[in-house]
C-alpha cells in the first residue's frame, strides 16, 4: 500500500544502498540480501544502478564494513528454471506431433500398398 510512510521507507532504503561500482565483495566478507533479479527498463536506461548496465541483472549484497551495494550477476535462477521447463514442454509437444505424423504417414503408405496389391490380384498378375 502506498502511504506517506511507505515513501519515506523507500527513500531511506535507497539512501542506504551505495550505487557505485565498488568491488567490496572481493576483499571483505559479504552477505547476499536479495537474490539475482532482472533490472527494470528504467534502471537500465537511467544508470542509477551501474550493475544493471553490465548484465541487466542485479543482486543486493551487504559488505561487512562498506555497506550495501548492488553487483551485477549473470543469471536469475528462477528465470533459468522457467525457460528450461518451457523448452522441455515445447520439445514434448514437438515429439508428440512428430510421432502422430509418423503414424499417419505409415497408415497412408499401408493403405496405398493394399490398394496396389488389390489391383494386382484383380488384374490376375
Beta partners for residue 84, in sequence order: none
How many other β-carbons are positioned within 10 Å of the β-carbon of residue 52? 23
- Could you give the CA distance from residue 114 to residue 105 in angstroms, rounded to a whole number? 14
Q: Each residue's pLDDT tens digit in the chain (125 positions)?
A: 455 554 444 444 444 565 556 678 888 888 889 888 888 899 888 888 888 888 888 889 888 888 888 888 887 788 889 999 999 999 999 999 999 999 999 999 999 999 999 999 998 86
Sign of CA dihedral 49, 22, 36, 51: positive
- Could you give the CA distance from residue 52 to residue 54 in angstroms, rounded to a whole number? 5
How many other β-carbons are positioned within 10 Å of the β-carbon of residue 25? 18
Amino acid at each position: 500500500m502506498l502511504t506517506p510512510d511507505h515513501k519515506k521507507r523507500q527513500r531511506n532504503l535507497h539512501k542506504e544502498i551505495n550505487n557505485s561500482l565498488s568491488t567490496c565483495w572481493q576483499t571483505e566478507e559479504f552477505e547476499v540480501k536479495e537474490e539475482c533479479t532482472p533490472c527494470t527498463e528504467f534502471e537500465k536506461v537511467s544508470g542509477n544502478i551501474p550493475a544493471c548496465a553490465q548484465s541487466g541483472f542485479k543482486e543486493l549484497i551487504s559488505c561487512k564494513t562498506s555497506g550495501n551495494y548492488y553487483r551485477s550477476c549473470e543469471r536469475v535462477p528462477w528465470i533459468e528454471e522457467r525457460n528450461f521447463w518451457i523448452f522441455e514442454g515445447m520439445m514434448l509437444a514437438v515429439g508428440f506431433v512428430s510421432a502422430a505424423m509418423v503414424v499417419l504417414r505409415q497408415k497412408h503408405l499401408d493403405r496405398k500398398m493394399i490398394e496396389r496389391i488389390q489391383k494386382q490380384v484383380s488384374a490376375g498378375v
